[in-house]
Each structure stands twice: as C-alpha cells, then as structure tokens.
Structure 1
Amino acid sequence: MIQIDLTGQVAVVTGGSSGIGLATAELFLRAGASVAICGRNAERLNAAQASLIAKFPQAQLLAARCDVLDADDVAAFAAQVSERFGRTDMLVNNAGQGRVSTFADTTDDAWREELELKYFSLIRPTRAFLPMLRDAEAPSIVCVNSLLALQPEPHMVATSSARAGTLSLVKSLASELAPQRIRVNSILIGIVESGQWRRRFAEQAAPGQSWEDWTAELARKKNIPLGRFGRPEEAAQALFYLATNLSSYTTGSHIDVSGGVARHV
C-alpha cells in the first residue's frame, strides 16, 4: 500500500459524521492531516468525534455542526477552520441522499429541494473555502456524486437529473480553477452501505434475515457484478486518492465506485 504523509495539511469533510464522510476523515487522520468535519445532526457529530479521538488520541480534529444548505452556517464553519488551523488544503464535498420518485409523482417542491441539495451542498462549501484553498500549495476539491449522473434511473428521476448537473459543474469548476492550481474531481458511487440502507433493511428484511443475506439478495436483483454493496471505506479510498498528491495530474475527472454496475464504456 502506498504511504503518504499529510502532516501539516488540513482536510475538510462535509457530511463527516457518518458513512463515507467519516471513513474519509479517518483516512486523512491516519495519514497525519488535521481534519475538520461537519454535519447537521449534533448527536451523530459528537459520536463521530468521539470515535475518531478514540482511534487517534493525538488527532488535530475539529467537529462543527453545520447545515451546508445554510450560507451562514457554512461561512461560520469556514471561519472556525481558519481560526483553528489557519489553512485548508483539501475539501471533500460529501452531503445528500437519494430521492426515490418518478416524474409523475415528483412535485415542484420536491424538484426544488432535490436540486438545491445537490447543487448548493457543493456550491456553498466550495465558495466558502476557496480563499484558503487558493493559498494552499497543492489544493484540491473532491465531490461525492452518484453513478446516476451518467446512468439515470426512472425511479430516481429528480436525483438522477441533479447528479448529472453537478457532474457538469465539477467539470466547469475544474477548468475555471485550474489556473489557480486547484484540482477538482469527483467519485461516482453505486450502492454503498449507509444509515439510509440500514433503515430500509430494518423496514424490509424478512424475519431472521441477516444484513449480509439481505444486501446480497438485493445486489443480485440490481445486477451488481461484484455481488455486494460497497463499503464506506472503499469510497473513502477513492476520495483520498483524488484529494491528495497521489493524483497530482488529475482534474475534471471522476472515479467509478459502483462494483461494476456501470453499463457505459
């Protein structure tokens, strides 16, 4: 495994209190970086902070409650990072979940909510942290996106549309920010274990059916070639690669983390 030392660098992870965000924060801490995470739910955020400190007692860690759709919250979070660490080298935009709906049953309000979540969870943190990123030696932005951006599903029409738009936004940002040495990339995830899927398991699993059996059955139904759900740490590893100098000549690109579900070449 390639080792990289991020001592002296600062990584910011939105949606860092669980799942992919929490796994990504752990990778940055393991590599020696200082890390700032944020999340909307104070209870989950406190639990995440405690788990990270338990694993990394000497960690330079900031955990702040922040709704990335609230401009004032995001500005306050960026100010906290600046005050605590004085810099930001890597920004991971990781927020949002999928909306199950067809065109026929998606209301105007649902469309607005979905588009606002997918766009502004990326736009507001990027805007807030750009001043610090511009001063970094090798700055980067990485966004968590979905394979739906390239492979839309009719039962997730609003999410698919919004994901395609943010994929285009990442490409535009990469071109605009390249002269400022800021790399911008994304990952496209398929089904990754999450709290949302755990809740569906609790609601839908047959009596006595295990998580492993339930997810394996669903993976078969969804024709996932690797036959299972992805794990948060697998998506986190792709984010870590794109955020660090391991990918120093990569911008405006994406990594597919879908277990082989992508049908396009």
Structure 2
Amino acid sequence: MSMINLEGKVAVVTGGSSGIGLATVELLLEAGAAVAFCGRNEERLAAAEKNLRERFPQGRILASACDVLSAEHMAAFAERVQRELGTVSMLVNNAGQGRVSTFADTEDAAWTEELHLKFFSIIHPTRAFLPQMKTTQEAAIVCVNSLLARQPEPHMVATSAARAGVLNLVRSLATEFSPFGVRVNGILIGLVESGQWRRRYEARPPEERDMTWAQWTGRLAQKKQIQIGRLGLPDEAARAIVFLATPLSSYTTGSHIDVSGGLSRHA
C-alpha cells in the first residue's frame, strides 16, 4: 500500500487481532501510520502484537484488550490512544461474525443480542473517538459491513436485518458528521477466508475428506455463484478499507464498496 504515506497519522482498528482487522492493521503500518487495535481475546491479541512488532520494529503500535460493547472500555481506550499515539484521524469499525438462524428458530434474546452487537460495535467506538477526529484534517470512519445488508439470506435473518440497519446508519452518520469534515463509509464483504470457514472445512463430512482447502472453497464458491470463483482474502477487504480510511477517497462519503467477488446480484 505504498501509494500513500500515512506517517504522522493515527489509526484505530477494532477487532484487529485477526482476519480482516489484522490485515488492515498491517496495511496501515506499512503505509507509516501509528496504529492502535483492540480485541476481546487477550491471547490472540498478544500473539498478533508480538508478530507485528517483529515485522514492524520501527512501527508505533498499541494493542489493547477491550470490548467494543462497553462504552467505558471504549472511552478509556480512546483516552489511552490519544495519550500514547496522538490524535486519531482514522477509525475502522470491524464488527463481529454472523449468526446462522432462520426467523422460526431465532429467539427474542438472540434478536436482541445480534442487533445490539451490530449497532453498538459501531456506536461506542464512534462516540469515543469522534471528539478527537473532529479536530483533525481528513478524518474518516470505515465500517466493515456485509453484502447481507443488501442481499439478505433467509438462514441469517437476524444478521441480515442488522446489517441493513448498519447500511442506513453509515449514511446517517455521513450526513451528520460532514460539517466537521469527518467522512463515513463502509465495505460490503461476501465470503472471505476466515477462522470460521477453516473450522467448517476441518469439520467437513467424510465424503469430502479427500478435498484440499482450495478444492473445498472452490466448490463452495461455485455453489454460491461467486463469479471470481473463490473466497476473498482478508487482504483484499483490507485494501478497500484503507482506501476509504485515507485521503485516497477524499471525495467519498456515505457510500459502500462491494468486495464480494461478484456474489452481489443487485445493480
């Protein structure tokens, strides 16, 4: 990502210890930004931090174990980041994984949990970091969303509905924050390689045991009619995030980039 120099800039990535979040942290560090990231799994967070410090010995890195669903955690995290790294101008809200359930088998508690996660994983970090971002030049917020926001799946009814709400929220925040010079955008991901898909591969039925990861995911892509013919890579989603988080997209706000390999069926 050498097309832009982010030296002197500070970025924050929530859910940054693995997958798309970690890939985003790496690209931001490569571009010269100071990066703070958080996650709930302390072991995974520590492993990610160790690896990043080895790869970027000169990098300014802050890793913190905290929960985006806690307003107190986010407020303390924002204060610490500003104190140790400086004023934040880029915030990446990287929400959690999806919930597989139909309308018939989704209980009230599951609806509440899913809607709360998808909304407050954006609301709390945004509320915590916005005061800093208002004081900087070229500030941007990026929300990692799913193609489910526009193309719902019946077996993921609660997640699809929540993702659609996030699509709307991004547009609303972009309008409200534009007088302060803070842009707000999102990406819509399709099927991206992750620990979730790896676990499904490891648990595949006996008749699929002789299939390699490439064969198994290729068949999955064919079944899902992904036009590029494979699952996406975390790095591919991260590149779209970095584009939206930086002045590379200085005239873009309130929009989403589709990163689904042609899985999208809407124009």
Q: 2:200 is paired with a residue of what secondary structure?
A: helix
The corresponding residue for 2:188 is 188
Q: 1:36 is paired with a residue of what secondary structure?
A: strand
Distance in structure 2 (CA, Å) of the matches to 1:152 and 1:95: 17
Query: Which of 235, 245, 253 is residue 251 of structure 1 equivalent to?
Result: 253
Say whether the 8 Å CA contact 2:2–2:30 is kept in structure 1: no
In the TM superposition, residue 86 of structure 1 has moved relative to its aligned partner by 2.4
Counterparts in 2 of 1:51 and 1:2: CA distance versus 1, 3 Å = closer
Are 1:153 and 2:149 matched, yes or no?
no
Are 1:50 and 2:37 matched, yes or no?
no
Q: Deviations over 1:70-103 (max 9, x none)?
A: 1111111111101102200100000210111000
Q: 1:135 is paired with a residue of what secondary structure?
A: coil
Q: 1:250 is paired with a residue of what secondary structure?
A: coil
The corresponding residue for 2:262 is 260
Distance in structure 2 (CA, Å) of the matches to 1:22 and 1:51: 11
Distance in structure 2 (CA, Å) of the matches to 1:137 and 1:264: 35
Distance in structure 1 (CA, Å) of the matches to 2:41 and 2:116: 19
Are 1:168 and 2:152 matched, yes or no?
no
CA RMSD of aligned residues (A): 1.0
Distance in structure 1 (CA, Å) of the matches to 2:38 and 2:189: 21
Unpaired runs of at least 5, structure 1: none
What letter is aligned with 2:96?
G
Q: 1:183 is paired with a residue of what secondary structure?
A: strand
Distance in structure 1 (CA, Å) of the matches to 2:104 and 2:252: 40
Percent of pairs identical after alignment? 65
The corresponding residue for 1:228 is 230
The corresponding residue for 2:3 is 3
In the TM superposition, residue 209 of structure 1 has moved relative to its aligned partner by 2.2
Q: 2:23 is paired with a residue of what secondary structure?
A: helix
In the TM superposition, residue 208 of structure 1 has moved relative to its aligned partner by 3.2
Distance in structure 1 (CA, Å) of the matches to 2:44 and 2:9: 25
The corresponding residue for 2:242 is 240
In the TM superposition, residue 2 of structure 1 has moved relative to its aligned partner by 6.2
Distance in structure 2 (CA, Å) of the matches to 1:97 and 1:2: 30
Q: Deviations over 1:133-189 (max 9, x none)?
A: 011111000000000000001010000000000100000000000000000000000
In the TM superposition, residue 203 of structure 1 has moved relative to its aligned partner by 1.1
- Would you say how many aligned residue pairs link Structure 1 and Structure 2? 265
Distance in structure 2 (CA, Å) of the matches to 1:240 and 1:259: 18
What letter is aligned with 2:217?
T
The corresponding residue for 2:82 is 82
Q: Decide which moves more: 73-82 or 198-207.
A: 198-207
